Amino acid sequence: MLGERAPLADILETMVRAVEAHAGGDAVASVLLLDREGRLRTGAAPGLPADYNAAIDGLQASPFLGTCSAAAATGAVVLTPDIDAHPHWTSLKHLPLALGLVAAWSQPIIGTDGAVLGTLGTYFRTTRTPREDERALVAGLAACAAVAIEQAREGRINWV
């Protein structure tokens, strides 16, 4: 898709759908982009309702908020095997729990300069952490997403 100069939105949606398919129906994935002000913006989240995406769009990255926000703020993988019990989800847990999503993890998307560009997050319908094959897939996709995001920022591919 990069070689064909597909729009960034299409590339990210394809990645998200690959993560969901690999999980076999147990997961909903999303890509959140980190803007220049340190806020999370929805890049691709076709499996999440529009009101959910609107509720999290614009959240400030923080090591103490949710899973993707913490990954964006720290640049590290963040695991939340039980959203309901985790203190970083206190103010937001009603959003995923209402959808039957009870666990989450997030892989930061790191640019060539080491800066965090966004996150590739996965919610699960069961209380668990990602399997090794899921970690490997998402790590590879996050590296590809970094290339795509950087190309979009450089104007070499379109955003949409």
- Using alpha carbons, list the distances in angstroms from residue 93 to 3, 7, 100, 110, 160: 39, 32, 11, 26, 30
What contacts 96, CB < 8 A, 6 or more positions away? 52, 83, 89, 102, 104, 123
Question: ∠ CA(24), CA(107), CA(72), 5° rounding?
Answer: 140
The answer to whether residues 32 and 59 touch, using CB atoms and an 8 Å cutoff, is: no
Per DSSP, the residues of 105-148 read EEEEEE-TTS-EEEEEEEEESSS----HHHHHHHHHHHHHHHHH
**CA-wise closest residue to 86 among 97, 98, 74:** 97
Q: What is the model's pLDDT at position 20?
A: 97
Enter the tokens of residue 149: 């995001």
Q: What is the model's pLDDT at position 31?
A: 98
Pick the CATH number of 8-152 from 3.30.565.10, 3.30.450.40, 3.40.50.300, 1.20.1260.10: 3.30.450.40
Residues of the chain with pLDDT under 70: none
Q: What is the model's pLDDT at position 159?
A: 84
Q: What is the model's pLDDT at position 25?
A: 87
